[in-house]
């Protein structure tokens, strides 16, 4: 009974929140509509852009500046140490950066290529929707959940004991007597972790690319076929250029997801056995070892690494729009 | 004109509605809060009246005001009626209810309302609250390192003399040191746990005719006997999410304290003795001959490397089945046995039980590595001091220990307060022994960059990748913050 009451209370407060928000917006619109003539444009800009700009400044710009500042401080954030934190990253944490770059390069390309292949294959299949749903399903699983599932797959037991891990058992059925301890198997353990990310993202890539392929006008395909294009030629000369914009969006979206990725590594290995990446090390430094300086410096490195990707994304999309 | 007017009217109406709803919302929550508060005070009133009546009948009048019968034990804490003390902790429900139950009598008699607030983000939130001028009256600090950091930033206030006297009287002197920063005593210990245990299966021991070893040599003789009988004598697991590696730091701590005693251990904690010193290297060799010994490990899982991969919670899976002989783990491992078998019990005749990891030499008798929380205050109002002192008293510790699943190192708590033969009782027996050497978990005392960082990582690499001992120790030393 009590739970029901608290549940109702929550529902009620949630409802109230929505109502208050709606009323606030209505009031804002009303105030905006009061301005006439010369003032109306600046007032509209202020009223409609103001809240967003304010939130952006509070939630993004101020923290970014503070983080950059904190990255030049020592562990407790009280003393200026200049470049020392960055020096530390590039001196002793270089393999972390290498791992992160591997993740950013390999995972999006693998997920997109696999997604594209599946989209093409399923395009001609009966019961396409069913197959697609199954491939899309991992997308609904959280990174932590997916990692726990895969840690069961990668689980190791001595070959003379009953096997618990699926991968070990399959490999043993295939005739390997002594499967490796998957998560300790350097440097391949990095790729085994990437498989999890690909597994999650491939459904997204497949669905979006499949939609793009279906959107290719049939007259274009027919014209190409009349000109004698078939198979690979049709694919590489017609399909790919026609879905280029979508491909770029898919690759960059997955890239951003990979940049933030930290759950998989944290759950599977916590960055041990040579699998550490920047985001997880950042968390460990800032919130486990309470070294705000190093944590911030790693955050800045991540931040800087995103910039070229965003630039690439924007430039490509502009180009795409220009050719249309 | 009319259209605009109507619009304005609508807007006004909407605005009015919104304001009304806001008021209603605030009013609503206020009402319910004051309602429940009212009920509480009413309940207290009746309680006070009841007891007051008894007192009148007895014709006694105490100097401290109208003290109720049964409240004599709280005489020292009187004179703070109607005050509130809030306590901020990392201990979440359902443990919370047990604490509230334990001090219910204190609250009723003294009229001090102890408001309990717990958070699983305790360590991150506490410094923020202090910096924001919103410090709790009392916080339970889970490790001395955090207390030190807080004192450096100027949060906690020194403990009253009454609290200090209780700690002097009832605790092993090492505990007081962990509540002291720069010569000022701040915080008395609260709960404790004991890490120097070895878990085993009484059934497997009985079936094979093994005796619980009481000396270091017997322990290794037993291990070798198990090897001869085809049982892997030891098992272990380091995987623990973001804290992967900590069990290995415990093994090193056990050996350090047993080989060299408390003073050298303290030097190690403060880095006067570096990790690369011959003492630590020798201790690492002992651990290598124990948990990295391919003859000995890893019962139920595989070879030495699997120790790094095995979750510490799962490490004991092979003990009830006889695949693994012994597991070095803390007292709280008692809670994990039911993961392997729903009907598992802990006790001398149960699924699993623990014995004390024996001392190495009589020069350093009964070394115990453990942990615990400390009660630090951030205000010196009399009621806060009263609660702080009460939380160090044998009264409170006994009343909490009687509720089960909790161990105190307070020697004023009679051992029969705990369930007979429970792991809690066994822990308390060792923790309260004045002749033993008690030391806090070293990795909790070292700077976080080492104790919660490099030491975990390097010990994990030592097991997972067989990284050479010299490199492991050098890398840990290199991570020690300069200053």
Q: Is A244 on the interface with B (CB under 8 A)?
A: no
**Does residue B41 fall inside a structural domain?**
no
Residue B54 domain-assigned (yes or no): no
pLDDT of residue B330 exceeding 70: yes
Question: Which A positions 50-79 lie with beta carbon below 8 A of chain B?
Answer: 75
Are residues B247 and B103 both part of a single domain? Answer: no
Identify the sign of the CA torsion B301, B304, B309, B315.
Answer: positive
A209: exposed, middle or buried (Cβ count in 10 Å: 0-12, 13-18, 19+): buried
pLDDT in tens, B186-195: 999 999 989 9
CB contact under 8 A, B7 and A267: no
Q: How confident is the model at residue B295 (pLDDT cuts 50, 70, 90)?
A: very high
- For B452, the closest of A23, A270, A288 (CB atoms) is A288
CA geometry: angle at A35 spanning A29 and A36, to 5°?
A: 130
- Best of B19, B242, B340 to disrupt the A interface (most A CBs within 10 Å) is B242
Parse chain A into domains and list their residue ranges.
Answer: 2-70, 84-323
- pLDDT classification of A79: cutoffs 50, 70, 90: confident
Report the C-alpha gap between A266 and B9 in whole angstroms: 57
Give pLDDT, residue A56. 92
In this complex, which of B17, B241, B465 lies closest to A270 when CB atoms are compared? B241
**Per-residue pLDDT averaged across A22-37, rounded?**
83
Count the Cβ atoms, other than its own, within 10 Å of residue A234.
16
Tens digits of residue pLDDT in B179-229? 999 899 999 999 998 999 999 999 999 999 999 999 999 999 999 999 999
Q: For residue A272, give the nearest of B15, B452, B461 by CB distance.
A: B461
For A184, which DSSP code? G
pLDDT over threshold 70, residue B94: yes
Is residue B42, in this structure, part of any structural domain at all? no
Residues B337 and B464 in one domain: yes
Q: Do A23 and B309 touch (CB under 8 A)?
A: no
Residues B125, B265 share a domain: no
CB contact under 8 A, A273 and B464: yes
Chain B residues with beta carbon closer than 8 angstroms to that of A186: 465
**Across the interface, do B301 and A158 touch by the CB < 8 Å criterion?**
yes
Determine contact: A199 vs chain B, CB below 8 A: no
Taking contacts as CB-CB distances below 8 angstroms, the residues of chain A near B301 are 157-158, 161
CB atoms B302 and A13 under 8 Å: no
Are B428 and B418 in contact by the 8 Å Cβ rule? The answer is yes
Quick check: ipTM above 0.85? no
Both B98 and B123 in one domain: the answer is: yes
Cα–Cα distance, A254 to A204 (Å, whole number): 9
Rounded Cα–Cα distance for residues B375 and B426 (Å):
24
What is the structure's pLDDT at B68? 60
Mean pLDDT for all residues in chain B: 84
Assess whether pLDDT exceeds 70 at residue B26: no
Contact (CB<8Å) A158/B303: yes
A26 to chain B, any CB pair closer than 8 A? The answer is yes
Q: Is the pLDDT of residue B58 over 50?
A: no
> Which of B297, B310, B464, B466 would best serve as a mutation to test chain A binding (most A beta carbons within 10 A)?
B464
B286 vs A49, residue with greater confidence: B286
Q: Give the nearest chain B residue to A78 (CA atoms).
A: B153
| Reported pTM | 0.79
pLDDT value at residue B95: 83
CB contact under 8 A, A272 and B11: no
Task: Determine the pLDDT at residue A123.
Answer: 81
A13 and chain B: CB distance < 8 Å anywhere? yes
A87 in contact with B, Cβ within 8 Å: no
Answer yes or no: do A26 and B11 touch at CB < 8 A. Answer: yes
| Residues B317, B456 within the same domain | yes
Locate the chain B residue with the closest alpha carbon to A182: B309
**Structural domains counted in chain B:** 2
The CA-based diameter of chain B, rounded to the nearest angstrom, is 102
The beta-carbon neighbor of B124 closest among A181, A284, A287 is A287
- Residue B280's pLDDT is what? 95
CATH of the domain at B337: 3.40.190.10
In this predicted structure, what is the pLDDT of residue B66? 53
Name which of A204-218, A305-319, B193-207 the model is least confident about.
A305-319
The residue ranking higher by pLDDT, A230 or A179, is A179
Contacts of B243 in chain A (CB under 8 A): 288
Mean pLDDT rounded to a whole number for chain A: 87
User: Among 1.10.645.10, 3.30.1360.200, 1.10.3720.10, 1.20.1530.20, what is the CATH number of A84-323?
Assistant: 1.10.3720.10
In a domain, residue B20? The reply is no
Q: How confident is the model at residue B324 (pLDDT cuts 50, 70, 90)?
A: very high
pLDDT band at residue B11 using 50, 70 and 90 as cut-offs: very low
Q: How many Å apart are CA B334 and CA B464, to the nearest integer?
A: 27
Q: Helices A292-323 and A94-123, interaxial angle, to 10°? A: 40
Expressed as residue numbers, the domain containing B355 is 197-369+440-479
Q: Measured between beta carbons, which residues in chain B are less than 8 angstroms from residue A273?
A: 308, 460-461, 464-465
- Model pLDDT, residue B53: 39
If one counts every other C-beta atom within 10 angstroms of the C-beta of residue B465, the result is 16
Task: Please state whether the peptide bond connecting residue A33 to the residue before it is cis, i.e. omega within 30 degrees of 0.
Answer: no
Q: What is the pLDDT of residue B132?
A: 83
Measured between CA atoms, how close is A165 to chain B, in angstroms? 12
Q: C-alpha dihedral over A284, A286, A292, A295, to 10 degrees?
A: 60
B419 and B465 share one domain: no
Contact B11 A270 (CB under 8 A): no
What are the tens digits of pLDDT across the range B127-141?
A: 888 888 889 999 999
Query: Is B43 inside a domain boundary?
Result: no
Mean pLDDT is lowest, of A239-248, B1-10, B290-299, for: B1-10
- For residue B274, being part of any structural domain is answered with yes
């Amino acid at each position: 009974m009590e739970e029901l009451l608290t549940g109702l209370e929550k529902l009620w407060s949630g409802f109230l929140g929505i109502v208050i928000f709606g009323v606030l917006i209505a009031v804002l619109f009303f105030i905006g509509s009061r301005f006439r003539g010369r003032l109306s444009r600046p007032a509209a800009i202020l009223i409609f852009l103001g809240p967003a700009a304010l939130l952006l400044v509070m939630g993004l710009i101020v923290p970014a500046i503070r983080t950059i500042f904190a990255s030049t401080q020592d562990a407790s954030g009280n003393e200026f140490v200049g470049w020392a934190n960055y020096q530390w990253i590039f001196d002793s944490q270089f393999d972390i950066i290498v791992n992160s770059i591997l993740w950013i390069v390999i995972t999006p390309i693998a997920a997109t290529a696999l997604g594209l292949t599946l989209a093409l294959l399923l395009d001609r299949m009966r019961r396409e929707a069913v197959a697609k749903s199954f491939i899309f399903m991992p997308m609904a699983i959280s990174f932590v959940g997916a990692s726990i599932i895969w840690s069961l797959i990668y689980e190791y037991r001595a070959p003379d004991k009953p096997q618990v891990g699926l991968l070990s058992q399959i490999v043993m059925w295939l005739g390997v007597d002594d499967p490796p301890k998957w998560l300790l198997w350097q440097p391949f353990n990095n790729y085994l972790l990437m498989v999890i990310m690909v597994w999650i993202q491939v459904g997204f890539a497949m669905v979006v690319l499949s939609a793009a392929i279906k959107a290719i006008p049939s007259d274009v395909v027919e014209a190409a076929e009349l000109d004698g294009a078939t198979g690979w030629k049709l694919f590489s000369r017609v399909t790919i250029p026609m879905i280029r914009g979508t491909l770029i969006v898919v690759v960059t979206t997955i890239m951003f997801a990979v940049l933030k990725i930290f759950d998989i590594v944290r759950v599977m290995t916590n960055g041990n056995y040579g699998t550490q990446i920047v985001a997880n090390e950042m968390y460990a430094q800032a919130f486990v070892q309470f070294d705000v300086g190093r944590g911030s410096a790693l955050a800045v490195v991540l931040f800087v690494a995103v910039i070229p990707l965003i630039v690439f994304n924007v430039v490509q999309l502009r180009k795409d729009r220009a050719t249309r | 004109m009319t259209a605009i007017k109507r619009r304005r009217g609508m807007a006004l109406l909407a605005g009015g509605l919104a304001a009304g709803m806001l008021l209603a919302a605030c009013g609503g929550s206020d009402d319910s809060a004051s309602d429940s508060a009212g009920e509480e005070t009413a309940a207290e009133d009746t309680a006070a009246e009841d007891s007051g009546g008894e007192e009148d009948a007895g014709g006694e009048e105490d100097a401290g005001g109208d003290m109720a019968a049964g409240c004599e034990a709280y005489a020292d804490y009187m004179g703070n009626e109607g005050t509130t003390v809030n306590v901020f902790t990392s201990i979440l429900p359902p443990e919370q209810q047990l604490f509230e139950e334990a001090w219910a009598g204190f609250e009723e008699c003294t009229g001090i309302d102890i408001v309990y607030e717990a958070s699983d983000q305790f360590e991150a939130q506490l410094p923020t609250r202090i910096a924001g001028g919103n410090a709790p009256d009392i916080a339970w600090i889970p490790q001395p390192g955090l207390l030190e950091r807080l004192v450096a930033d100027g949060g906690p206030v020194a403990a009253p003399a009454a609290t200090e006297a209780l700690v002097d009287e009832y605790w092993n002197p090492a505990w007081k040191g962990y509540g002291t920063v720069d010569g000022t005593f701040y915080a008395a210990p609260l709960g404790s746990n004991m890490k120097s245990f070895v878990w085993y299966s009484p059934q497997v021991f009985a079936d094979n005719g093994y005796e619980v070893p009481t000396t270091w040599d017997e322990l290794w003789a037993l291990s070798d006997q198990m090897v001869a009988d085809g049982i892997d004598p030891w098992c272990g697991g380091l995987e623990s999410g973001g804290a992967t590696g900590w069990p290995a730091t415990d093994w090193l701590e056990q050996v350090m304290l047993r080989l060299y005693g408390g003073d050298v251990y303290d030097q190690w904690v403060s880095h006067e003795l570096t990790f690369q010193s011959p003492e630590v290297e020798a201790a690492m060799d002992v651990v290598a001959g124990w948990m990295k010994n391919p003859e000995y490990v890893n019962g139920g899982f595989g070879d030495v490397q699997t120790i790094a991969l095995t979750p510490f919670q799962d490490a004991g899976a092979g003990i009830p089945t006889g695949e693994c002989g012994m597991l070095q783990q803390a007292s709280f491992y008692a809670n994990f046995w039911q993961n392997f078998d729903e009907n598992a019990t802990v006790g001398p005749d149960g699924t699993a039980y623990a014995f004390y990891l024996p001392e190495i030499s009589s020069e350093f008798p009964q070394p115990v590595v453990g942990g615990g929380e400390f009660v630090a205050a951030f205000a010196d109002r009399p009621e806060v001091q009263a609660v702080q002192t009460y939380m160090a008293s044998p009264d409170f510790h006994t009343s909490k220990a009687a509720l089960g699943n909790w161990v105190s190192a307070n020697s004023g708590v009679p051992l029969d307060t705990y369930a007979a033969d429970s792991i809690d009782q066994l822990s308390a027996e060792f923790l309260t022994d004045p002749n033993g050497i008690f030391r806090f978990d070293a990795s909790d005392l070292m700077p976080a960059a080492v104790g919660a960082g490099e030491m975990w990582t390097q010990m994990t690499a030592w097991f997972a990748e067989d990284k050479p001992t010299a490199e492991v120790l050098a890398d840990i030393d290199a991570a020690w913050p300069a200053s």
